[in-house]
A and B are shown apart, each in its own frame.
Chain A
Amino acid sequence: EVQLVESGGDLVQSGGSLRLSCAASGFTVSSDHMSWVRQAPGKGLEWVSLIYSGGSGGTVHYADSVRGRFTISRDNSKNTLYLEMNSLKPEDTAVYYCARVTNWAFDYWGQGTLLTVSS
């Protein structure tokens, strides 16, 4: 059974840093494209970042709103996806979901982890 479990969400001050983790089971994160999607309180879904499967060289993409501040990566030995976030802003406050990408759609999602950035 495919499962994704995020962790690392916290309350941080503006300008701070944090790393989110997403532990996968039932498949290997290196074999599929993986992504982060966020949802601000009461708002819609916003794509954040994507890392291609290992066979595609690990190419990454970012939303303009996070490029240069966030870094997506994975640890194949731990079967875990990460999102390193720096220079955090109040507008980064959201529930962050990791998701597996299949047929260029997000077919499995984690339960989400809440990041709150205070000003």
Chain B
Amino acid sequence: DIQMTQSPSSVSASVGDRVTITCRASQGISSWLAWYQQKPGKTPNLLIYTASNLQSGVPSRFSGSGSGTNFSLTISSLQPEDFATYYCQQANSFPLTFGGGTKVEIK
């Protein structure tokens, strides 16, 4: 199975900050990586697919990059509604696997 390791597990940031979350795969997954945002008590929301493609309706302050084993999600200017938990997910092979999540908290 491919293990997905996210770092950091939590980050404290202020509105307007640039925030980067990283996701490392235990083996190469090409660009088969997605990013999700989940707010407390809510359903996960797709942000990025195939590593760098912005899902329709997602603000352009979100961006994704990487390929192979190392990936990142960047929020260019953190907004109040961005405080949430973020997950990466690989789709290179079964079983599909998620990272453990990164909680973005208010500083």
A residues apposed to B, CB below 8 Å: 35, 37, 44-47, 50, 61-64, 97, 102-107, 109-112
Contact = CB atoms under 8 A, between A and B. Distances in A.
Contacts of B100: 44
Given A44-B100, A97-B43, A111-B43, A105 B94 contact: no
B11 interface: no
B98 interface: yes
Interface of B: 1, 32, 34, 36, 38, 43-46, 49-50, 53, 55, 87, 89, 91, 94-101
A61 B93 CA distance: 11
Contacts of B95: 47, 61-64
Contacts of B89: 45, 47, 105-106
A15 B74 CA distance: 44
A109 B45 CA distance: 8
Contacts of A102: 49
A53 to B, nearest CB: 15
Given A104-B32, A104-B49, A105-B34, A47 B43 contact: no
Given A47-B97, A50-B96, A106-B89, 9 more contacts: A45-B44, A45-B87, A61-B95, A62-B95, A102-B49, A104-B34, A104-B49, A104-B91, A105-B55
A106 B34 contact: yes
Given A47-B95, A47-B96, A61-B94, A107 B46 contact: yes
B46 A106 contact: yes
Nearest to A106: B46
Contacts of B97: 47
Contacts of A37: 44
Nearest to B85: A44
B43 A107 contact: no
Contacts of A47: 89, 95-98
- The interface centre, meaning the residue of A35, A47, A104 with most chain B CB atoms within 10 A of its CB, is A104
